[in-house]
Amino acid sequence: MGRSGMNATAGVPIFEVGLLFLFFYFYAPEIICLSLTGVLQVANRQMGSMAFFTHHFCRGLSSSAVRSAVIKHVTIIGGGQMGAGIAQVAAATGHSVTLVDTCEDILKKAVKGIEGSLKRVVKKKYADKPEAGEEFIQKVLQNVSTSTDAGSAAQGSDLVLEAIVENLKIKQDLFGHLDKLAPAHTIFASNTSSLPISDIASSTDRQDRFGGLHFFNPVPMMKLVEVIGTSATSQETFDALFNFSKELGKTPVSCKDTPGFIVNRLLVPYIMEAIRLHERGECFCHGSKEDIDIAMKLGAGYPMGPFELSDYVGLDTMKFIMDGWSAKDPDNLLFTPSELLNKLVAEGKYGKKTGEGFYKYK
C-alpha cells in the first residue's frame, strides 16, 4: 500500500487526508470548526437537540476559530426600532437575517416597518428606476426571516446581536440561555446604549467572542457604529465586528467598554441638562421645550432639538439609561433623575413610538 496509506476497501487515501486535517487544524481551524458546525447543524435539524454536542465539540477549537470570521448569517433579537433597522441594513447588504421577538404581531409590524423604510430609501436611490427599486426591496425582504424562538435562530448564526430592552438582567438571561445553544464560532454582540458590555458578557462562557455593536437611530440613515471590545474580547472577534460594520456601509469607531462609549457619554448629559433647563424654566421665553429645540437646531446645527430627539429615541430607554447610571454613581449631578421624564414614562408616554412624549404625534 506504501506511504499513501490507501484504504483498500473504501479507496480513501488516509495518510493524505490525515495530513490535510492536520494542516487545517493548525493553520485554518475555523474551516474545520465551521464545517463540523455545519454538519452538526444539519444533524440538529434532523435529530432534535444536538446543540449541546455541537457547542461542546467545537469549544476546543473555539479560541482560534474566529481568526478571520466571516459574518454571513445574522440573528437579531428584538424587532423594535433598532433591531428592525439593523436587520434592514444587514439584509440590504446581502446578509441572511433572522429577526426575533417575543410575538408574531411585533414581528409583522417590524417587517412592515422595514418595507416602509426601504421604500423611502428606494425613492431616493432608484428615483429614475422604480422597477429596479421594487426588485431591490423584494430582494432585501427575501433575506429577512422572522422567529419567536431565539435559541433555534442562534443555532444557524455567525453573529447574534441583541437589541432588546435596556435591562442588564434581561440581556444576561438571554445570552446565558443562547450560550448553551449557539455554535462555538458564533459571535455575540449587544447594541446596548449604556450598559457595560463586560457585565452582559459575564453570563456566557464566550467572553472572547463577545463585543458591543452600538448603532444609531434611525439605523438606515445614521452612518456611525461604535464597536466595543472588553478586556476579554479577542482581536479576531473585534476585527470581525469592525469589518461587519463596514460591510453594512457604516463608519465604525473603536471604543473602550466605558459608560456611554463615546457618543452617549456626551449626549446623555446634554439631553438631561436640556430637560432640567426646561424644568427650571430658566430660558428666556418661559424655558419652553420648543425654544430649546429651535435654539439647538438653528444655533448648534443639530438636525433635531433635544426634546425631539428624546421622543425619537424613546423616553423609556432614556429612563432605563438614567436609572442605571444614577444608581451606579448617585453623587454625580449629571445623572440626577428628572421628575418630568419619570412622570411621562409612568404615564406610558414613551415618545414617538407610543404617540406622545414631550410632544404629541397623533
Catalytic positions are 193, 214, 226, 264
Q: Which residue has the cell 433555534?
A: 152
122 binds ligand HSC, rule: CB under 6 A: no
SS (H, E, C) the chain: CCCCCECCCCCCEHHHHHHHHHHHHHHCHHHHHHHHHHHHHHHHHHHCCCHHHHHHHHHHHHHHHCCCCCCCEEEEECCCHHHHHHHHHHHHCCCEEEEECCCHHHHHHHHHHHHHHHHHHHHHHCCCCHHHHHHHHHHHHHCEEEECCHHHHHCCCCEEEECCCCCHHHHHHHHHHHHCCCCCCCEEEECCCCCCHHHHHCCCCCHHHEEEEEECCCCCCCCEEEEEECCCCCHHHHHHHHHHHHHCCCEEEEEECCCCCCHHHHHHHHHHHHHHHHHHCCCCCCCCHHHHHHHHHHHHCCCCCHHHHHHHHCHHHHHHHHHHHHHHCCCCHHHCCCHHHHHHHHCCCCEHHHCECCCECC
Residue 272 touches which member of ligand NAD, ligand HSC, none, C-beta under 5-8 Å by kind: ligand HSC
Is 193 labelled a binding residue? yes
What's the min distance (Å) between Cβ of 136 and ligand HSC?
A: 13
197 binds ligand HSC, rule: CB under 6 A: no
Is 41 labelled a binding residue? no
253 binds ligand HSC, rule: CB under 6 A: no
Residue 121 touches which member of ligand HSC, ligand NAD, none, C-beta under 5-8 Å by kind: ligand HSC
77 binds ligand NAD, rule: CB under 6 A: yes
**Residue 285 near residue 248 (C-beta atoms within 8 A):** no
From candidates 30, 101, 158, 311, binder to ligand NAD by CB under 6 A: 101
Residue 264 touches which member of ligand HSC, ligand NAD, none, C-beta under 5-8 Å by kind: ligand HSC
Is 223 labelled a binding residue? no
Strands lying side by side in the sheet with 210-215:
144-147, 96-100, 73-77, 159-162, 187-190, 210-215, 224-229, 251-256
**Residue 286 near residue 278 (C-beta atoms within 8 A):** no
Residue 309 touches which member of ligand HSC, ligand NAD, none, C-beta under 5-8 Å by kind: ligand HSC
Please say which residue, 110 or 122, places its beta carbon nearer to ligand NAD.
110
By CB under 6 A, the count of residues binding ligand HSC is: 24
176 binds ligand HSC, rule: CB under 6 A: no
217 binds ligand NAD, rule: CB under 6 A: yes
44 binds ligand HSC, rule: CB under 6 A: no
Residue 244 touches which member of ligand HSC, ligand NAD, none, C-beta under 5-8 Å by kind: none
- Closest chain position to ligand NAD (CB): 80
Residue 260 touches which member of ligand HSC, ligand NAD, none, C-beta under 5-8 Å by kind: none
340 binds ligand HSC, rule: CB under 6 A: no
328 binds ligand HSC, rule: CB under 6 A: no
220 binds ligand HSC, rule: CB under 6 A: yes
Residues constituting the chain: 362
174 binds ligand NAD, rule: CB under 6 A: yes
Annotated binding-site ranges for NAD(+): 78-83, 101, 166, 171, 193, 217, 353
Provide the binding-site residues for ligand NAD, judged by CB under 6 A: 77-83, 100-102, 106, 163-166, 170, 174, 191-193, 215-217, 313-314, 317
Provide the binding-site residues for ligand HSC, judged by CB under 6 A: 117, 120-121, 123-124, 193, 216-218, 220-222, 264, 267-268, 271-272, 303-304, 309, 313, 318, 321-322
